[in-house]
Structure 1
Amino acid sequence: MFTLSLARPRQTVVRPGLFHRLSAFSALARQRRALARLDDARLADIGLTRHEALTEAARPAWDAPDHWRG
C-alpha cells in the first residue's frame, strides 16, 4: 500500500558553529584593517571619507553587522 503525506517537513534553524563564527570575525577584522590602509582616492571610489573608514576600522571584530546575527 502507498501512503502520500502532504505535510511539509519541519524546517530546522541552522546556527553557525563556533569555528564558523570565529572565522567570520577574523575575516571582518582583516577587512577593517585593510579599509584603514586605503588611501583617500580609493576611499572616494567607494564613497567613504577618511573619518568614516577609520571609525569603521576601530570597531571590534565582535561588533558585527546586524544581518550576521541569527
Structure 2
Amino acid sequence: MERTLSSDFVSESSKSQAALPLRVISNLLLWQRRMSSRHQLARLDPRLLADAGISEAQRFAELSKPFWR
C-alpha cells in the first residue's frame, strides 16, 4: 500500500500529541523532586550543612530558586 504525504503528517502529528502527556508528567515529577530536595535542604542544621560542604550562602541561593529552575 502506498503512503501519501498527508498520512505521514497525521502519523507524525499523532506521535507528538502522544508524547506531550509524557513530557508534562516528566516535568511535574522533576519539579516535585526539586521541591522535595529543597525542603530537605532547608531542614538541615549547620553541622549537617558543613558535613555536606554546603555554605549558608549556597543553601540560600538554592532555596531562593523557583521550582521550575
**TM-score, normalised to structure 1's length?**
0.61
- How far off is 1:58 after superposition? 1.5
Q: 1:23 is aligned with what amino acid?
A: L
Secondary structure of 1:19's partner? helix
Secondary structure of 2:68's partner? coil
Aligned pair 1:36/2:42, yes or no? Answer: yes
- How far off is 1:54 after superposition? 1.8
For this pair of structures, how many residues does the alignment match?
Answer: 50
- How far off is 1:25 after superposition? 0.7
In the TM superposition, what are the counterparts of 1:1-70 in structure 2 within 5 Å?
17-63=23-69
**Which runs of no fewer than 5 residues in structure 2 stay unpaired?**
1-18
Identity %: 28
Distance in 1 of aligned mates of 2:32 and 2:43 = 17
CA RMSD of aligned residues (A): 1.9
If you compute each CA radius of gyration, which structure gives the higher value, 1 or 2?
2
Q: Which residue of 2 aligns with 1:67?
A: none
**TM-score, normalised to structure 2's length?**
0.62
Distance in 1 of aligned mates of 2:43 and 2:68 = 20
